[in-house]
Amino acid sequence: MSGAQRALWTFLMYTLVGPFFAAIVIAAVLVLAPLLGLGALLPQNMPPLGAAAITTFVWTVIPAVLVALALSPIALRQENVGWILAAIAGAVAFAISATLFPIGMESARPYLTFFAGLISLAVREVLVRAGVLTA
């Protein structure tokens, strides 16, 4: 696979699969928190499950594009994007996006930043398993 193909697949996966994973995580948290007795930790003004998942998918396109723009040039030059670099890129891109475009849940921002790093790692793993990047 050429460097240009790796960069294209990296960009596409981060911008499409990343928001999908984010929406799935938020939906899972909203479903599981009350079942596990953690419903009091959720913000009081949470929208319904479907609206929260769709809003998450749409809003996370911004940090996903930032991560894709940061990691695609690396994928262009080499066959691997390190896991720590992917996690940092996801967390920093989310922090920048949440600062520029507030989401209204400032008390949850550290946890959401952590989840953004994990989601970036999950997308990197998809790329590794698809053979786009090497482990």
Tokens of 51: 């609206």
Confidence of residue 1 (pLDDT cuts 50, 70, 90): confident
Give me the residue label for tokens 């997308």.
123
Q: Is residue 30 within 8 Å of residue 132, measured between CB atoms?
A: no
For the segment 6-26, what is each residue's pLDDT rounded down to a tens digit? 999 999 999 999 999 999 998
Is the whole-model pTM more than 0.95? no
Residue with token string 């697949």: 9
**78: CB partners within 8 A, 6+ apart:** none
